[in-house]
Amino acid sequence: MTAPSRNRRQEIAASRKRAQAEIVVPREVPMSRMFIDCRDYPSEKNCTVAISADTKKELVDAAVQHAVAVHGHHDSPQLRDQLATMIKTQ
């Protein structure tokens, strides 16, 4: 009658631990995340929304939607220019 020895079981457990430790979770960290913080833009609504994205286009698009929906602006090239000047990077 041969049961697996204690050492053998410890070895298996240890190798499982090593395997887990070797798993590298790929994380894509953008070099600079851009964002627009509504608090920088004086408004009567005291809006505290911050919008962020990895590309200027996404960010301006989202900011335009927010400006139209929440602040009652009209989507125009001027509004987009103005929002583009509010972009900051982290």
Q: List residues near Zn ion by CB under 5 A.
A: 38, 47, 49, 70
Neighbour-count burial of 36, counting CB atoms closer than 10 A to its CB (0-12 exposed, 13-18 middle, 19+ buried):
buried
Nearest residue by C-beta to Zn ion?
A: 47
Smallest distance, Zn ion to C-beta of residue 67, A = 7
CB count, 10 Å around CB of 83? Answer: 22
Shorter beta-carbon distance to Zn ion: residue 12 or 49:
49
Shorter beta-carbon distance to Zn ion: residue 2 or 46:
46
Smallest distance, Zn ion to C-beta of residue 43, A = 6
CB count, 10 Å around CB of 78? Answer: 10
